[in-house]
Amino acid sequence: MVSSFISTLISTNFPPPPDLTPYIFRADDRYVAGGGFGDVYRCWYRGGPMNLKEVRVWCTTRAACY
């Protein structure tokens, strides 16, 4: 009950974040760091350097991937 109230409160008071995907460009195909949850790539955002983490997603079944 409380978790439902909190999720409703958050979803109604905070708008979704803007989609920045069109403004981000990967600078290199090689990752600069990595871990169990994803890889970090050097990228450019609106002309300035930044690092971006690409999250790994594992599919447990073929149907889950589509």
Q: Is residue 8 part of a domain?
A: no
34 in a structural domain: yes
Number of compact structural domains in the chain = 1
Tell whether 30 is covered by a domain: yes
Give me the pLDDT at residue 48, please. 83
Q: How far is CA 47 from CA 39, 40, 57, in A?
A: 22, 18, 29
In a domain, 5, yes or no: no
64 belongs to a structural domain: no
Q: Looking up tokens 């803007």, which residue turns up?
A: 18
Considering the domain boundaries, does residue 12 fall inside one?
no
Domain that holds residue 24: 19-56
Q: Please indicate, yes or no, if residue 9 is contained in any of the structural domains.
A: no
The pTM for the full model equals 0.51
**Each residue of 2-50: pLDDT tens digit?**
677 767 766 667 777 888 888 888 888 888 888 878 888 888 888 788 8
Cα distance between residue 25 and residue 2, in whole Å: 41
Q: Is residue 35 in some structural domain?
A: yes
